[in-house]
Amino acid sequence: MSIESATDSIRSKVGDNSGLGATVKFDMGDEGAIFVDGMSSPNSVTNDNKDADCTVSCSLETMEALIAGDLDPTAAFMQGKIKVAGDMGVAMRLSSVL
């Protein structure tokens, strides 16, 4: 999976109104970033590397597993596969989107 296909998958899951009410950045280091603007109407998903209310850092491989539903976000956090910075409440709402 590429960053582009991951972005497309997240875009389809977010839709026009994710209910997030916040901005989230998925930071995959050298692979790139996915920025979800859950405050815009309709919501937007881009590859902009901008500051967000909540930043989730993980590998592209971990992101693929989360998108596919093969990895539970809470389990990934507990195993140290994802790191969360910023608003944890936003991170909790993310699980309903992914």
What is the helix (H) or strand (E) element at residue 54, kind and residue range? Answer: strand 54-57
Do 55 and 86 contact (CB within 8 A), yes or no?
A: yes
Q: Smallest Cα–Cα separation from 49: which of 68, 66, 29?
A: 29
- The tens digit of pLDDT for each residue in 14-42 reads 999 999 999 999 999 999 999 999 999 99
- The tens digit of pLDDT for each residue in 54-68 reads 999 999 999 999 999
pTM exceeds cut of 0.85: yes
Q: What is the mean pLDDT of the chain?
A: 94
Write out the residue range of the structural domain in which residue 35 sits: 3-97
CB half-sphere exposure, 98, CA atoms < 13 A: 26
Check which CATH number belongs to the domain holding 53 and give it. Answer: 3.30.1050.10
Total domain count, the chain? 1
Contacts (Cβ under 8 Å, ≥6 apart) of 31: 3, 59, 60
